[in-house]
Amino acid sequence: MPETLVSFSGVFAGYGGGDVLKGVDFEVHQGGVTCIVGPNGSGKSTLLKTVSGLVRPRLGEIHFKGHNLVGMSPRDILKLGVVQVPQNHSLFREMTVEQNVELGAFLVRDKRVIAERLATVREMFPIVAERAQDKAGSLSGGQQRLVEFARCLMLEPELVVLDEPSMGLDPKTLKVMFATIRMMNEAGRTVLLVEQNARQALKMSHHGIVLENGRVRLTGTGVEVLHNPEIGALYLGGSLEEAKHAP
């Protein structure tokens, strides 16, 4: 059995106007890729924000390597090795690609360590070397995504949290992006991601979780979730309840 890296128990969270997450329980296995899917507004981004400390749960616990992340500051969570790439593009457009990547190491003091890590991410992401001196804003959406990945690896995180990394990418770039997630995982990072592109994402994930209306409705291997008859209903716009009552 793989070890658990993150465990959610009874997590309730929202933004002041009622709960968005209504008692979430699940586990993220160490060394795997775990993919959360679900309809718009089901609370996927909110769930990821509770991991990185941007949203503080009202109730419940999130355990990561012996720490309860609930109540910890985003900075302290980052220091523990949890790095999130947000849903919207987050590079500083007027800064160069290299400057953006270096910013990822802002918690690292040792210049030699920074240089070593920069060399590693240049190798993993050729674009970081090829476009080093170009302004980040001059890159395509897909290229910016890869630079964001490179930036997050500068902290050598234990857990990489990705919110809809495929958003806005064309089919060819999408393939590169998914292959890159696999590569980061094979390089030792545990990955927790949210994807609207459910089919492709679940295929490449070890574990799948379906979130509906702030609750976990299904868990299993990526392939199990993909082939679950109820999941189709979710993506055709229906709910699981409707699927159960459908003829």
Ligand X SMILES: Nc1ncnc2c1ncn2[C@@H]1O[C@H](COP(=O)(O)OP(=O)(O)OP(=O)(O)O)[C@@H](O)[C@H]1O
Residues near Mg ion (CB under 5 A)? 44-45
Three-state SS for 92?
A: coil
Q: Which is nearer to ligand X, 81 or 86 (CB)?
A: 86
Residue 83 CA to residue 153 CA, distance in Å, equals 8
Residue 166 CA to residue 197 CA, distance in Å, equals 7
50 binds ligand X (CB under 6 A): no
36 binds ligand X (CB under 6 A): no
Candidates 5, 6, 13, 20; binder of ligand X (CB under 6 A) is 20
Give the closest residue to 4 by CA, choosing from 192, 227, 211. Answer: 192
Q: How many residues bind ligand X (CB under 6 A)?
A: 10
Candidates 46, 52, 100, 205; binder of ligand X (CB under 6 A) is 46
Residue 175 CA to residue 200 CA, distance in Å, equals 9
Vertex 217 angle, CA 51 and 244, to 5° = 160
- To the nearest whole angstrom, how small is the minimum distance from the Cβ of residue 40 to ligand X? 4
User: Which of the choices Mg ion, ligand X, none does residue 151 contact, using the CB cut-off of 5 to 8 A by kind?
Assistant: none
Find all residues with CB under 8 Å of 224, minimum gap 6, and list them.
208
- To the nearest whole angstrom, how small is the minimum distance from the Cβ of residue 52 to Mg ion? 13
42 binds ligand X (CB under 6 A): yes
Piece of 40-48, 68-76, 98-106, 145-153 that binds ligand X (CB under 6 A): 40-48
Piece of 2-10, 34-42, 178-186, 236-244 that binds ligand X (CB under 6 A): 34-42
Residue 82 CA to residue 48 CA, distance in Å, equals 11
